[in-house]
Structure 1
Amino acid sequence: MEPFVKQHQQECGRFVLESWERGAPDGRLAAGFTGRHGGVSAKPYDSLNLAFHVGDVPEHVIENRRRIAGALGFSLEDWTCGEQVHSGDVAIVRAGDRGRGSLDRDSAFQDTDGLVTNVPGILLTSFYADCVPLYFWDPATEAVGLAHAGWKGTVAGIAGNMVSAMTSEYGSDPSQIRAAIGPSIGACCYEVDDRVMERVRQLLLSPQDSEENPQSAMYIDKGNGKYMLNLKEINRRIMIKAGILAEHIECTTWCTSCNNDLFFSYRKDGGTTGRMASWIGMRKR
């Protein structure tokens, strides 16, 4: 069953991680992903663009963020994000960091693609137009995290780095961490070349792993130096190798390229488009 459920008749387009929200105590957990509709941005960022770096009018981005935060029971001052660079780096978000990046790029966590916190009232966010959003939640410690995983972040091991950060900073037990993989470009649409595959192959697993988990689930060789790459599955396996139980990982069926009417897609939109946001946070008691 699809874990990211489209919310109908809402002012802002949202896809909510319903099983997590239902399973959290007192309904305090907010987790999900935005669509492309329900904002104020004009073409080609129409309409719920949530990122400053694409060239949109900053005031439109701020209004879009305000709408999403308010719909989730947070404020714009709670919105906290990083300046993503397709790295494997993870930042620890403390109480004094609340709101970093909400109004401009300069105040965001620089050179950061992963964020973790255990502070209630902070809304972690990150931005996408085909890359893979990764979600982490430890019910025992109430630590939460987000990671932005394009192919570069994936091969940099950001999924494993998130688990390590939660373990070292909050004492999380990897076997108790819940993880989810959100809407992103699927293997049906994500064609890469030998340059990318050379890096991916360096990551791909020991001979024993290959026997138990055939690489055909991670990529298909089309010939002539072209491959269809399944970043969702690769990140799922990295999570498992980091100690997260397979039964604790939920994976979307949404492809941002196939569903370009609902999502921004860098590839489908020709490189000039808006950005969706992932979000996760624990509401204050």
Structure 2
Amino acid sequence: MTTGEPFTDPDSPLYLSLPAFSRAAPRGDMTAGFSTRNGGTGLPPFQSLNLGLHTGDDPDTVVRNRSILAAETGFPLENWVTGEQVHGNRVAKVVAQHRGLGAFSQENAVNGTDGLYTTEPDILLTSMYADCVPLYFYDPERKIIGLAHAGWKGTAGNIAGHMLKAFEKEGSKAEDIIAAVGPSISGGCYEVDNRVTDQLKHLPVNDLSKAAVSCGGDRFRLDLKEVNRQLLLAGGVREDRLFVSTYCTYSEEDLFFSYRRDKGRTGRMMSFIGMRK
């Protein structure tokens, strides 16, 4: 695994960028990042850059916030694609005719999916978060990009492995894929019981005890970033092409919304990735 924080401030309050991906792209024709909670127009408890249409926030405000971010990324909102996000492990291929799905309305998001990938430029893949783990995938050789939403259920279903297999069907080799684990709740802030950790025991990870640390009785502090890091390595991603964020959505309230910290009444950040022609 590479060292250092891979997500950096691009002199914008709206998002953190992922420069390792753009550096790997021919001519730098790639954007990838993770939004913050700042720079939008929303009111409490969604202040201010809430990008989730399923939160109870005013939909017009959310679309306005998305338009603000669209201007920063250079990808118009009409070119965004969002999945339904049902806490599963299904991934779907996105093509040009899917542009706009989920961008203006949650009702027409890509049905039943938590992962999206594409081989086509001028599409911005997007996914919403408030503690779950965002996974990023990029094969600069085959020009394939992907995003996966990995909550504990998606992690238990090895959505990381499902995305790697989807890439391989497109001709990718796992060792050519660059992957990143984005900002999410840290293990020290995420306490679960053994009903959750028991569902992770079947996964092809090297050392689950490193990610699930007992805190007494049947309670554990669960590091989902670490579980997904191990799953990506098990799937064939090279350690020197794997980036893991140290940002914690729970503890860094000035930057991020957190479902657990805010007791469910909160906004959503967005992971995004797109290639340009």
Instruction: Calculate the TM-score normalised by the size of structure 2.
Output: 0.96
CA distance in 2, matches of 1:194, 1:126: 28
1:280 is aligned to: 273
CA distance in 2, matches of 1:7, 1:105: 29
Aligned-partner residue type, residue 27 of structure 2? D
The alignment status of 1:223 with 2:204, answered yes or no, reads no
The secondary structure found in structure 2 opposite 1:37 is coil
The secondary structure found in structure 1 opposite 2:116 is strand
> Which 4+ runs in 1 deviate beyond 6 A?
none
CA distance in 2, matches of 1:265, 1:7: 22
Matches within 5 A, 1:245-260: 245-260=238-253
The secondary structure found in structure 2 opposite 1:140 is coil
Q: What's the offset of the Cα at 1:280?
A: 0.2
Identity among equivalent positions (%) equals 47
Q: What's the offset of the Cα at 1:201?
A: 2.0
The secondary structure found in structure 1 opposite 2:33 is strand
CA distance in 1, matches of 2:134, 2:147: 7
1:190 is aligned to: 190
2:78 is aligned to: 77
CA distance in 2, matches of 1:248, 1:73: 26
The answer as to whether partners of 1:154 and 1:235 remain within 8 angstroms in 2 is yes
Write out per-residue CA displacement over residues 9-55 of structure 1, whole angstroms, 9 at most, x where no aligned residue.
x2x52100012212322221100000001111111111101111001
Instruction: Calculate the TM-score normalised by the size of structure 1.
Output: 0.93
CA distance in 1, matches of 2:27, 2:230: 32
Matches within 5 A, 1:12-23: 12-23=13-24
Structure 2: tracts of 5 or more residues without a match: none
Q: What's the offset of the Cα at 1:204?
A: 5.7
The answer as to whether partners of 1:159 and 1:239 remain within 8 angstroms in 2 is yes
CA distance in 2, matches of 1:6, 1:154: 28
1:46 is aligned to: 47
Bigger shift: residues 125-134 or 40-49: 40-49
Q: How big is the alpha-carbon RMSD for the aligned residues of Structure 1 and Structure 2?
A: 1.1
CA distance in 2, matches of 1:69, 1:167: 30
Write out per-residue CA displacement over residues 124-155 of structure 1, whole angstroms, 9 at most, x where no aligned residue.
00000000000000001110000000000001
Aligned-partner residue type, residue 194 of structure 2? D
Q: What's the offset of the Cα at 1:80?
A: 0.6
Q: Aligned residues, how many?
A: 274
Q: What's the offset of the Cα at 1:183?
A: 0.2
Bigger shift: residues 52-61 or 18-27: 18-27
2:111 is aligned to: 110
CA distance in 1, matches of 2:160, 2:140: 18
The alignment status of 1:270 with 2:263, answered yes or no, reads yes
1:90 is aligned to: 91
Bigger shift: residues 216-225 or 262-271: 216-225
Aligned-partner residue type, residue 172 of structure 1? S
The secondary structure found in structure 2 opposite 1:137 is strand
The answer as to whether partners of 2:201 and 2:208 remain within 8 angstroms in 1 is no
Q: What's the offset of the Cα at 1:218?
A: 1.1
CA distance in 2, matches of 1:222, 1:236: 22
Bigger shift: residues 25-34 or 121-130: 25-34
Matches within 5 A, 1:91-240: 91-168=92-169, 170-203=170-203, 205=205, 209=206, 214-240=207-233
CA distance in 2, matches of 1:194, 1:236: 21
Q: What's the offset of the Cα at 1:202?
A: 2.9
CA distance in 2, matches of 1:202, 1:176: 26
The secondary structure found in structure 1 opposite 2:8 is strand
The answer as to whether partners of 1:7 and 1:13 remain within 8 angstroms in 2 is no
